[in-house]
Amino acid sequence: MGTKLDPISLEIIANSLRSIADECFVALMRSSYSTNIKERKDHSIAIVDCEGKLVVQAALTLPIHIASMGGLMRCVLDKFEGDIHEGDIFIANDPHTAGGTHLPDINYAMPIFNDGALVAFICNIAHHADIGGMVPGSMAGGMSEIYQEGLRIPVVKLFRQGELQADIMDILLLNVRVPEERKGDHNAQIASCKLGARRFREVIEVHGLDDVLEAFDEIMSRTAVRMKSAIADIPDGTYEFSDFMDGDGMGTTDIPICLSLTVQGDNIRLDFTGTSKQVLGNINTTLNAVQASACYALIGALDSNMPSNQGVLDVVEIICEPGTLLSSVFPAPVAARAHSCQRVIDVVFGALSKAIPDRVIAAANGANTTAVFSGVDPRTGKPYLYFETLAGGMGARATKDGKDGVQVGITNTSNLPVESIEQEYPIRVVEYGFIQDSGGAGTYRGGMGLRRVLTPVDHECVFNGAGERFRYRPWGLFGGQDGGSGRFLIQDQNGERRLDDKPGEVRVNRDDVIIVETPGAGGYGPPDQRAAELIEHDRRSKKFSDSFIEQHYGTGNRATEG
């Protein structure tokens, strides 16, 4: 065509592309085996142009995956230049060589051809329940090299011109626990790619290739303009903020994350200079993941309906020296990168609070509290693996309390129903609820952390976990108080004691009890301005104890809300 697409035609084509991504998302969710994907929706879909730029993501895509697609694509295009054919499917997971963010996320990319020419890729990412390595679930702490975290997959062709490379699949499956299930997950990812490619060709048929490709560029450039105009609304200046990670589980503690955020007109630069060197434990991240987290925070604060595509990524300049915690290099372990990503979001909000105080929230649970139980099911004699991440408090907002017990930041995965856990695993859930007094006091209070109490039924099992904000509590803003920290506990014949914050391979005997407590969140504004009705609600619901209320809000007269 050559002429510029009008805003109506563009919307109609963009809608068709979003429709493809959404269909592929549901198809992958419904046909996979991993509970991570099925119940927790820990997966993503994207359409990428032939240069590897992200054009459209499925509506429910996890923010953490936004940059990973691009990372994979750069590696595919570099490595296979001139060798990309119809019917090929690429897979990869390695963070250091293949654009991944951690090993359990397996990335798929299928090129789409039109009249023999490469026109786009359809990609998906899914978090497999296991990718091998030292520990079931491939997510626990206690490892110092990426080799220990599981099977590293460079960018390889799993399909060559429509033909499955069975020997590659054999390698993938031999290296993981419960291979039958993982095979099901791979099949689901493959089917999702093929569906996307088929639908994409239908869209080309209707709208013509030229218009579709022009729409690609328009979607990204218009999003970039939208992002720039949102940034221009932030007062110019340099805003600094820093926070500390508790530790890496390998002896390094009090790990600084430092940010100097500069806005000048419609330009924004996030400079993480001053952040710790990369650490021995697995909370390191790759630059991709930091990019995704920073963009998440900016979109959330500035314009939450912003389309998530390359246009956003291109506008945000990130400075992060290689070899640091947030831009780690080989052989850094990265499995628990989500903890650091969550902290990056808190830090970005912290910096922005000095510029646009009404648009940000106080520190959230800032973690991705992970609990993994494994053992042999006494009912079947078969090994099992139960993996879950637990939500916590959401930071208080300028006009209302933070939500209690909810996923925040880059993750929004569901919990597993107690009745699923107990039917499928020899585990009993004894308690699941809010932790009293865990939301930081404030004019608006922080959200509450969650407590889950579990015990193995008729057998011994092994517990692995990873927590953050177990020592550095989620901070409040503008006089709001810090929220409660999290912890892991065990109750055995010796009584109750606290476990490490990133415990590895804890033996849990019959009748022992594991207690997982996730962090709450920080409050917003001075507690003495909290409305009487809200305090009364805190008291009546028993979410807060009388002594907490006494301590933070006193008994003085106060205004009613509004």
Number of other residues whose CB lies within 10 A of the CB of residue 85: 15
Sheet holding 369-376, edge to edge: 383-390, 369-376, 461-466, 506-508
Cα 290 to its chain centre, rounded Å, is: 11
Q: H/E/C letters for each residue in 431-493?
A: EEEECCCCCCCCCECCCCCEEEEEEECCCCEEEEEECCCCCCCCCCECCCCCCCCCEEEEEEC
* Cα end-to-end span (Å), the chain: 56
Nearer to another protein, 7 or 256 (CB): 7
d(CA 201, CA 112): 8
Smaller CB separation from another protein, 305 or 560: 305
The DSSP H or E segment spanning 514 is: strand 513-517
Cα 230 to chain centroid distance, Å, stands at: 24
33: Cβ contacts below 8 Å, ≥ 6 apart: 181, 182, 184, 185, 188
Q: How far is the CB of 8 from another protein (least distance, A)?
A: 4
Q: List residues bridging with 56 in a β-sheet.
A: 47
Q: Which is nearer to another protein, 396 or 441 (CB)?
A: 396
Q: Work out the number of other CB atoms within 10 angstroms of the CB of residue 303.
A: 17
Work out how close the CB of 351 gets to another protein at its nearest, in angstroms, rounded to a whole number. 16
Comparing CB distances to another protein, the nearer of 181 and 211 is 181
3-state helix/strand/coil string of 70-82: HHHHHHHHHHCCC
- Rank residues 304 and 494 by Cβ distance to another protein and give the closer one: 304
d(CA 338, CA 206): 41
Contacts of 460 (CB under 8 A, 6+ apart): 375, 507, 508, 509, 510
Residue 382 C-beta: closest distance to another protein, Å: 11
Q: Which run of H or E residues covers position 109?
A: strand 105-114
Q: How far is CA 196 from CA 72, 111, 185, 327, in A?
A: 18, 10, 17, 32
Rounded to a whole number of angstroms, the minimum distance from the CB of residue 104 to another protein is 17
Element (H, E) at 312: helix 310-315
User: What span, in angstroms and rounded, lies between the C-alpha atoms of 176 and 123?
Assistant: 23
Closer CB to another protein, 42 or 271, in the complex = 42
Nearer to another protein, 168 or 306 (CB): 306
Spatial contact of 406 and 447, defined as CB atoms under 8 Å apart: yes
Task: Choose between 152 and 186: whose C-beta lies nearer to another protein.
Answer: 186
Nearer to another protein, 146 or 227 (CB): 227
Of the two residues 29 and 125, which places its CB atom closer to another protein in the complex?
29
CA distance 363 to 14: 35
Q: Which of 451, 505, 413 is nearest to 42 (CA)?
A: 413
Q: Are residues 245 and 468 in contact, defined by beta-carbon separation less than 8 angstroms?
A: yes
CB of 508 to another protein, least distance (A): 18
Q: Which is nearer to another protein, 27 or 289 (CB)?
A: 27
Minimum distance between the CB of residue 183 and another protein, rounded to whole angstroms? 9
Is 20 strand, coil or helix?
helix
Pairing relationship of beta strands 383-390 and 369-376 according to DSSP bridges: antiparallel
Least gap, CB of 106 to another protein (angstroms): 17
Q: State both tokens at 272.
A: 């993480």
Q: Residues 435, 415, 253, CA angle at the centre, nearest 5°?
A: 60
Q: Show the tokens assigned to 352.
A: 């922005």
Least CB distance to another protein at residue 206 (A): 7
* Nearest distance in Å: CB 323, another protein: 31
Which is nearer to another protein, 277 or 542 (by Cβ)?
542
Least distance between another protein and beta carbon 282 (Å): 24
| Residue placing its CB nearer to another protein in the complex, 121 or 524 | 524
Q: Which of these, 69, 246, 219, lies nearest to 141 by C-alpha position?
A: 246
Question: 267 CB contacts (<8 Å, ≥6 apart)?
Answer: 228, 231, 317
